[in-house]
Structure 1
Amino acid sequence: MEPIKIGVVSCSGEDCLGGTISRLATRNILERIRLGESSVTICLPLFIAGGEEERDFAKDYPTITVDGCNKYCARRATEKLSGKVTDTIQVGEIIGEEKATGPALSTRKLTPEHHQMADKVAEEISIKFDRIVEGNFKK
């Protein structure tokens, strides 16, 4: 049986810490936690700008959005352009809304606490992956 492909659409927000954490968590999933599995990241700016390949993927495969704040830009854009997402994560619900909406931070200035935040979010993404795989999701 072919593995289920799962897309992750991460927030591209550059104006708050939640955006940075969402991108780090997504990279953790793809490069460390779920390495070698059938997961792909979908570039939100390209998706919004008209990337048909990204939009088609999100239409055909289960998709998890990871939003940095309660604006839910990744989820709203994905649902508008490709249909309902399979699941969503809002970083502020995991690390606290005040931290998530705090000022953006360069990845060169991340502290161990920031990496722990990204790890917590990545754990939640991984849980959602398992739910999708266990349910043998078909779109």
Structure 2
Amino acid sequence: MELVKIGVISCSGEDCFGGTVSRLATRKILERIRLGEAVTICLPLFIAGGEEERGFAQAHPTITVDGCGKWCAKRATEKLSGKVSDVVQVADIIGQKTAEGPALSTRNVTKEHMEMVDQVVEDIRIKFDRIADGYYKK
């Protein structure tokens, strides 16, 4: 059985703390939790016309991870490549007020911040596994 790659598309989120959390959670999924199974797409490149990124999102299941209520990752992916397989809204997990707080440099991330990242990672993992299970059962 061939392994299905699943895309995890994080918002670039430079404006708010939720964006920091979405990027850190996505990296943790890629580098530790689903190593070799997940692929990320650079959202700014995707939007700017990255054909390889758009093609991947058209051909593979994708999960978008949005840091705030603007839904930039989801909206851009669906506009440029089609419907996403699932979504993660960071504000729903850590609270809207916290997510919309000021952006934070990764060098200033505390243990409390990493606990929020881990909550988002768990939501991504659950959705990732649900999607993967659906492909492996086909």
Fold shared per TM-score above 0.5: yes
Could you list the runs of 5+ residues in structure 1 that have no partner in the other structure? none
Matched residues, number: 137
1:63-105 CA distance string (max 9 Å, x none): 0000000110000000000000000011000000000000111
| Corresponding residue for residue 81 of structure 2 | 82
Structure 1: distance between partners of 2:74 and 2:59: 16
1:35 has 2:35 as partner: yes
1:12-54 CA distance string (max 9 Å, x none): 0101000000000000100111123x21000000000000000
1:15 has 2:11 as partner: no
**Aligned residues: CA RMSD:** 1.2
| Corresponding residue for residue 47 of structure 2 | 48
Structure 2: distance between partners of 1:13 and 1:124: 18
Structure 1: distance between partners of 2:11 and 2:116: 15
Runs of 4+ deviating beyond 3 Å:
none
The alignment partner of 1:77 has SS state of: helix
**Structure 2 length normalisation: TM-score?**
0.96
Could you list the runs of 5+ residues in structure 2 that have no partner in the other structure? none
Identity across aligned pairs (percent)? Answer: 72
Structure 2: distance between partners of 1:118 and 1:24: 7
**Structure 1 length normalisation: TM-score?**
0.96
